Chain A
Amino acid sequence: MNRLYPKGFNLLLFLLVSHMLVAQTTISGTVLSDEQTPLEGVTIQVKGQAIQTLTNSKGGFTVTVPVLPVLLLISHTGYQKGEFNITTITPSSFRLIRNERNLDEVVVTGYSTQNKKLIAGSIQTINSQAFRDVPASGFNQLLQGKATGVQVNANSGVPGGGITFRIRGNNSINASVDPLYIIDGVFISNTDPIQTGMGQQQGSNPIADINPSDIENITILKDANATAIYGSLGANGVVIVTTKRGRLNSRAKVSLNGYHGWSTATKKFKVASGPETALLTNESRINTVKDNPALPPPSLIAEPDSQPTFDRISDLFRTAHTSNYEVAVQGGTDKSAYYAGFGYIKQEGIVRPSNFERYSGRLNYDNYLNQKVKIGTSVNISRTWRNVSSNDNNPQGVINSAIFVRSYLPVFNSDGTYARYGSFDNHLALINYLGNNAVGWRTIGNVYGEYAILPQLKLRTSWSLDNASEYENNFTSSLLAAGVASNGSAASYETKNLVLTNEQVLTFIQSFGEDGKHSINALVGNTINTVLSQSTSATGTGFASNDLTAVSVASVRSGSSAESRSKLLSVFAKASYTYNNRYTLDASFRADGSSKFGENHRWGYFPSGGFTWRADQEDFIQSLNLFNELRFRTSIGLSGNQNGIGPYAAQGLWQSGSNYLDQPGIAPSQLANPDLTWETTRQSDLGTEFSILNSRLFVSVDYYNKYTYDLLLNVPVPNRTGFATYLQNYGAVSNKGFELAIRSTNINTRTFKWTTEFNISQNTNRIEKLASDITLGASGRNISILRQGYAVNSFQLYKQLYVDPQTGNAVYEDLTKEGNITAADRQIVGNALPRYTGGFTNSFSYKGFDLNIFFYFQQGNKIMNMNDFFLVHGNTQANIGFVPRQLERWQKPGDITDIPRVTTSNRNIEANNSAANNYGGNVANLSSRYLENGSFIRLRTLSLSYTLPSSIINKLKFNNIRAYIQGTNLITITKYGGPDPEVSSQSGNQNTAGYDWATVPQPKTIQIGLNLVF
């Protein structure tokens, strides 16, 4: 604001001077942004003359000039400068183009803001404009395809459901691989609080507690130079969210936002019809007897062709509605600035009965008490509500109950009650009676004070809290399979996650020497951090009626509670030195002490260093007349990880609760490891950015190499010790990759603009060192494997080579060359990690119209299709139906297919090309035929919006009016045979990615919306 005073003074001077002269011509006009919103505080200068003014809150201005024509220079922070030739006094509007390169902007980095040109780290800022209006509940989901080096996938189509978010690959096996989220300086808990069993899925996305519309921008810190300042929290990258704040001296602006959307599945499940199921069953029974003539003659389903078909799939899906309403006010006086927002969203799941609802409120307030002291606060309060429905490996989940049951079996018994088969429930009973409600309250708040000790020395202290509480009440009525025996059961959970953070930062910024050739930006600080998790649960069984649903009225009740806390102390320092605006050298250092580790290995030290060269400032580059910008960056550093391990991981422990005869009991549960310490990631990064063709083409390239060692690994120990695993620092993982981002302004005229953005990221993950294979996943089937020399999230299966056209039996690769098929013949046949991910955006604007087309793509990942695994079983599963793929089975000599002959024979199970291993036997259906290519390219969003011209808006006394129509996931191109390739059913564990197992597919949405600003 200091700058405003000289400007105001100049203006005053100018007015005085102009009054003394004879005033000749007054010109007026309005300055608008590319979105047609009026811009306030824009500087208007008359070229060659000492005349300048600022625009008012409507974007309007008037200047008086001696003579026409004149050249007006219009400039505004964040926008490209405009030069306009004025020949008449007719009022006209001027459009400023947003500065796409953002190169002159300052960006938020760890504990400071820095000029982006001078930063050595790999940092990317995404403006909220890039993801507005998209109907996803969490901002982390919205970053998909928007930033390089970041892989984002929704695990399911459940609204508010879990997200896979990785920055530059999986760094760890046992510790967390999620980034650190910081919102307005508050460290955010990303612990999923849902206790209700959801199968193996992550129950919720805790980030969905934040309304994305409150966000101004998101900065992603990727390399060690950027993240090392966060020490032990930074190894997986850092996501810094800055929410909207008011500006000093700006008029109150009210914005109203609303949209309504209609969603359906991108593709639905398909199962074989009744006659098809009967046909396959009979064929298998006949074949089985052929394989083993000693068996009695097969008993066949009579008249297979006249079997009925009961369509359960249609009951599952619905056209789901999404409604979103928001109101926000922002503005400021000369001393204070404010932003207040309120939002409501209700999102139905496309598969019944899941729902998501969120109320969110935010208040950001800053106040200059005087020239030296500034205080402020950021508070977010939100309430979420979810109707939780279990999926994937739970046979009594609603999707399992609809797709697994044989389609010729009726939905209702003859007496009208719900029919159940095998271990599956009735899908309609679940849809009608599943009563799992989760209510979350989230308070994220921060109070800070800043004191400018000297103009160049500033002390900031900040006190933050993230308080998440989840209150779940579940009732399983006696109409559901899970409640039959118990006469109804209920559970109630209260879960709290509290993160308290206090930090002090002392910042020193100074330029000195001739023309400020030397400049220094330095800071020191400390943080104190406590994480507290508490939960209490009560369960009850035996209810007098299905209308009495509270635990308190159950006939048998029990309860339990849990608590854990961990603490972290840190001190850090960072300094960067710039010479002549050309060379910047920076270094940072952080020391972290964690309560999780043993006293002798508690502290970890994380240094980093980087160098930037602004080559465009060199004469020899400038003489090329090619580059508008050219920079080279390099950095190296260490960062640590302690998240994801238990708070008492280093201690030898006996657990309580090992009771007997209702008397308290204790038993050994954990072997002590006094040497346990930090998992460390060493990362080096090499990057360059340049812009050419008059800044119309901007290119950014990065290469990184990460090596994570001393993994916090649960190493198997011999069971004779009485323990199964032991947490120790062992093993290493590496991630290497390239990132490329291109932005191009293809056409830019006063009325028409076309820009293209493209980004692609490649990552190669490899387990460098591991004590022994770790197998897991798919409920004990161990389809996922961690093996030295391979990437994490690999799949191990029996590799089916072909189906013998003569016998119809599956032939597997015999790795051991023993001539038979044994457990040793399982091998790694693919991986769930994509080789490439990226986004491709084209934006067109013509007058008030904007068209935005955004594609997301990923390539190279495999999906284990568990639906096919279970539903292509050759009749080995008497209680389970089939999917249409089973119809492609081998039937007669000469048939070429990958689905073997149907049979349940179990003779000669060791032999290759034996009927026993088609679906059962040693192979037990763990065949690579169910592993599919998961690559896809998807039209993620297509939106068309129209902003009313300012002339009309002004008449209506509005600031801005914009209406739009948008489609999400309209087109998906993939070879994947399941419902949707963006899926990860076993996402509760980071090492079991890439399963598709009775999971809600992604929604396809059409929405219409309106933004009003006045």
Chain B
Amino acid sequence: MTRYLYLYLAFFLLTTSCRKFLNVQPQQQVDASVAITDAVSAEAAVNGLYNRLGSDGYYGSNFISLSYLMGGDIQWTGSQSAPSQIAARALTADNSNIASAWMAIYRTILSANYIIDIVPRLTDPLLTEAKKNQYQGEAYFIRALAYFDLARAWGGVQLITSPTYSKTDQEGIRRSSLAETYAQVLSDLDKAEALLPATVNRNKATQKTVWALKARFYLYQQDWVKAESYASKIIDDAANYKLLKPYNAFFANNVTATAESVFELAYSTSFKNGHYNWWLPPALGGRREWAPNNNLVTLLNDPAIGGNRNSLIAQTAPPGNLWYGKLYYRNPTGTDPAYLMRVAELYLIRSEARVKQTKLTQALTDLNAVRDRAGLSPATAATPEAILLAIENERRFEFAFEADRWFNLVRTGRVSSVLNISDPNKFVFPIPISEIIADKYLDPNLGY
């Protein structure tokens, strides 16, 4: 009997002592320790970074929708409470769309931090110095954009500039002031500007993309001189960047990466723009849960106001007669680009910067360039206030379905009079309540 026992035990040990048996590695994911090791994986990480920037929570739809829903011209026709709260400008700290934008932005920052941390240390000979600089520059640029968006939406935030390797890595960091957050944006933009080549690439960051964002950044900082000069750097590059006629030439007929675009994110069937089926009516296979409200429809259809920008909207056949937006329409492929910066914005930035420097004629020239493209007669405004108001209205229709209206009104301080918001605490979004609970170092925004 003992003989059999030994035999059994031997078999037993043979099978169980196999430590190897229990080491199973995934095939579709890669362990974090070996994620970025060479030229190929570094490039993949940079692609992943753009993917994060264009994810549904961020520029893939949600973040953009926060701006246009808060802007008062877009209605939410669905039944969910989070977007309807936003459209009613009655935000609470538990709004799930706000929380998912916050999350998506910090996820983007994490990817950027990894690249900034690891790429300089890689020793793969296939990874040239130029490539290294480009990857880091792209990461710095996207991190700058992420902190810029956090700052304009929530105010000063926690500044995370190194990757998270373990759960306790970012402990103890508190919110920076708004000025410190913008300083971080500028510092990242400066680094990106130095590292990136001055080429033209409408889907990825280059030095020119940095200039465009710097123009917007200085506009928010009310540094009119710099805003004007950086805007000019792009506008003057007429060989590469120009206003296309008519208005819909930058999006209709499935075009992408037109000369109108300074920076747009590209999508494919395997990486769909989250917007693609939310705007179209059911008759065209969409859900039409975001739709222009009656006021916007009227204004866009007014030839003296909307001009040929009425091509942004259309109406379904009777008896439905529903108005819907057409900027995002590539269903089911989902290949609508996300428009982050268009040359029209740079004209309007420069126009405003010039008004502030009382260069009214030049300011009107810029404004009228945009109006002319929309098929409108030149503006008749004469005083600085009137021109500023004309710029504000131009932006309203020019970027009706993009991330502009709300942030622009907050920036100019016009939000209280235009949208009837008296409490200045409500000019920023609430810090998500789930974050306040999860992070003892994070203070809420006042008033929420």
Query: A interface vs B, CB < 8 Å?
Result: 395, 420-425, 453-454, 457, 459, 481-486, 489, 504, 506, 526, 528, 541, 556, 558, 560, 562-567, 569, 571, 593-595, 599, 602, 647-648, 651-673, 716-724, 726, 772-773, 779-782, 822-823, 870, 877-880, 906, 909, 920-922, 924-926
Query: B421 within 8 Å of A by Cβ?
Result: no
Given A422-B77, A481-B282, A722-B113, 13 additional A-B pairs, CB 8 A = A484-B283, A647-B24, A659-B51, A659-B268, A662-B270, A663-B43, A665-B45, A665-B50, A672-B165, A720-B173, A722-B111, A781-B80, A823-B92
Indicate whether A823 sits within 8 Å of B94 (C-beta atoms), given known contacts A654-B32, A658-B51. Answer: yes
Please, which residues of chain A bring their CB within 8 A of the CB of B173?
Answer: 720
Q: Are A653 and B51 in contact (CB under 8 A)?
A: no
Q: Which of B4-12, B214-222, B354-362 contacts A (4 or more CB under 8 A)?
A: B4-12
Query: B158 within 8 Å of A by Cβ?
Result: yes
Indicate whether A772 sits within 8 Å of B1 (C-beta atoms), given known contacts A485-B280, A653-B26. Answer: no
Residue ID in chain A nearest B106 by CB atoms: A719
Query: B78 within 8 Å of A by Cβ?
Result: yes
Query: B188 within 8 Å of A by Cβ?
Result: no
Q: Are A877 and B48 in contact (CB under 8 A)?
A: no
Among residues 219 to 252 in chain B, which have CB atoms less than 8 Å away from a CB atom of chain A?
A: none
Q: Are B21 and A567 in contact (CB under 8 A)?
A: yes
Among residues 39 to 87 in chain B, which have CB atoms less than 8 Å away from a CB atom of chain A?
A: 41, 43-52, 54, 77-82, 84-85
Residue ID in chain A nearest B432 by CB atoms: A719
In the complex, A482→B51 CA distance in Å? Answer: 26
Q: How far is the CB of A372 from chain B (nearest CB, A)?
A: 12
Please, which residues of chain A bring their CB within 8 A of the CB of B437?
Answer: 716, 772-773
Please, which residues of chain A bring their CB within 8 A of the CB of B29?
Answer: 648, 651, 653-656, 669-670
Q: Are B285 and A423 in contact (CB under 8 A)?
A: no
Residue ID in chain A nearest B83 by CB atoms: A780
Q: How far is the CB of B181 from chain A (nearest CB, A)?
A: 13
Residue ID in chain B nearest A480 by CB atoms: B285
Please, which residues of chain A bring their CB within 8 A of the CB of B203?
Answer: 661
Q: Are A719 and B285 in contact (CB under 8 A)?
A: no
In the complex, A465→B288 CA distance in Å? Answer: 49
Please, which residues of chain B bring their CB within 8 A of the CB of A424?
Answer: 282
Indicate whether A924 sits within 8 Å of B106 (C-beta atoms), given known contacts A481-B285, A666-B41, A668-B114. Answer: no
Q: How far is the CB of A434 from chain B (nearest CB, A)?
A: 16
In the complex, A425→B21 CA distance in Å? Answer: 51
Q: Are A665 and B47 in contact (CB under 8 A)?
A: yes
Please, which residues of chain B bring their CB within 8 A of the CB of A653?
Answer: 26, 29-32
Indicate whether A718 sits within 8 Å of B435 (C-beta atoms), given known contacts A658-B52, A659-B51, A666-B45. Answer: yes
Q: How far is the CB of A461 from chain B (nearest CB, A)?
A: 9
In the complex, A906→B89 CA distance in Å? Answer: 12
Q: Are B96 and A667 in contact (CB under 8 A)?
A: no
Q: Are B47 and A663 in contact (CB under 8 A)?
A: yes
Q: Are B22 and A593 in contact (CB under 8 A)?
A: yes
Q: How far is the CB of B139 from chain A (nearest CB, A)?
A: 12
The 8 closest A-B pairs by CB, nearest first: A722-B110, A485-B285, A665-B47, A652-B32, A667-B48, A718-B439, A924-B81, A665-B48
Residue ID in chain A nearest B286 by CB atoms: A485
Q: Are B285 and A541 in contact (CB under 8 A)?
A: no
Q: Are A716 and B438 in contact (CB under 8 A)?
A: yes
Q: Mark B278-293, 1 if CB is under 8 A from A, else 0.
A: 0010111111110000
Please, which residues of chain B bring their CB within 8 A of the CB of A663?
Answer: 43-44, 47
Residue ID in chain B nearest A478 by CB atoms: B285
A481, A489, A566, A909: residue with the most chain B Cβ atoms closer than 10 Å: A481
Q: Are B51 and A667 in contact (CB under 8 A)?
A: yes
Please, which residues of chain A bring their CB within 8 A of the CB of B15?
Answer: 526, 528, 569
In the complex, A369→B442 CA distance in Å? Answer: 73
In the complex, A656→B8 CA distance in Å? Answer: 44
In the complex, A514→B80 CA distance in Å? Answer: 77
Among residues 180 to 206 in chain B, which have CB atoms less than 8 Å away from a CB atom of chain A?
A: 203
Q: Are A423 and B26 in contact (CB under 8 A)?
A: no
Please, which residues of chain B bring their CB within 8 A of the CB of A879?
Answer: 77
Please, which residues of chain B bring their CB within 8 A of the CB of A822?
Answer: 92
Q: Are A660 and B106 in contact (CB under 8 A)?
A: no
Please, which residues of chain A bring their CB within 8 A of the CB of B280?
Answer: 485
Indicate whether A660 sits within 8 Å of B54 (C-beta atoms), given known contacts A526-B12, A721-B169. Answer: yes
Please, which residues of chain B bring their CB within 8 A of the CB of A564?
Answer: 26
Q: Mark B138-152, 1 if CB is under 8 A from A, else 0.
A: 000000000000000
Q: Are B331 and A485 in contact (CB under 8 A)?
A: yes
Q: Are B8 and A602 in contact (CB under 8 A)?
A: no
Q: How far is the CB of B434 from chain A (nearest CB, A)?
A: 6
Please, which residues of chain A bring their CB within 8 A of the CB of B47?
Answer: 658-661, 663-666
Q: Are B48 and A658 in contact (CB under 8 A)?
A: yes
Q: Are B35 and A489 in contact (CB under 8 A)?
A: no
Residue ID in chain B nearest A395 by CB atoms: B287
With beta carbons under 8 angstroms apart, the residue of A484, A563, A654, A922 that contacts B90 is A922
In the complex, A595→B24 CA distance in Å? Answer: 6
Q: Are A671 and B164 in contact (CB under 8 A)?
A: yes
Q: Are A486 and B106 in contact (CB under 8 A)?
A: no
Among residues 80 to 128 in chain B, which have CB atoms less than 8 Å away from a CB atom of chain A?
A: 80-82, 84-85, 88, 90, 92-94, 96, 102-103, 106-107, 109-111, 113-114
